[in-house]
């Protein structure tokens, strides 16, 4: 696990308003928004136990902030 809690935010460049999109004690990062603006894909170590460092790719509905399915997992060294 990472020693810091990284989260994903969405920002409005005109108003400087920020909305937090992920809420988890694990690393959440490397976000990408779908072309239609409905889904957020990001990587996360949520579900990992200390020392395992398993990273998964998650989908989240931006409007409801509900997680979709975890799409894959990769164990890092």
31 — pLDDT class (breaks 50, 70, 90): very high
Residue 62 falls inside a structural domain: yes
The radius of gyration of the chain from alpha carbons, rounded to an integer in Å, stands at 13
Q: Would 4 be classed as within a structural domain?
A: no
Global pTM? 0.78
Q: Is residue 3 part of a domain?
A: no
d(CA 45, CA 7): 11
Total domains, the chain = 1
Residues across the chain: 77
Q: Per the domain annotation, does 58 fall within a domain? A: yes
Q: What is the pLDDT of residue 48?
A: 78
67, part of any domain? yes
Q: Is 16 within a domain?
A: yes
Domain that holds residue 21: 9-75
Which residues, including other chains, have CB under 8 Å from residue 53's CB and lie 6 or more apart?
A: 1, 45, 75, 76, 77
In a domain, 2, yes or no: no
With respect to residue 1, please indicate whether it lies within any of the assigned structural domains. Answer: no
What percentage of the chain exceeds 90 in pLDDT? 52
């Amino acid at each position: 696990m990472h020693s810091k809690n990284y989260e994903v935010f969405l920002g409005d460049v005109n108003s400087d308003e920020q909305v937090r999109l992920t809420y988890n004690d694990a690393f959440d990062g490397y976000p990408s928004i779908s072309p239609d603006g409905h889904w957020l894909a990001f990587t996360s170590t949520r579900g990992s136990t200390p020392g395992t460092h398993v990273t998964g790719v998650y989908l989240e509905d931006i409007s409801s902030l509900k997680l979709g399915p975890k799409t894959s997992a990769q164990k890092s060294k």
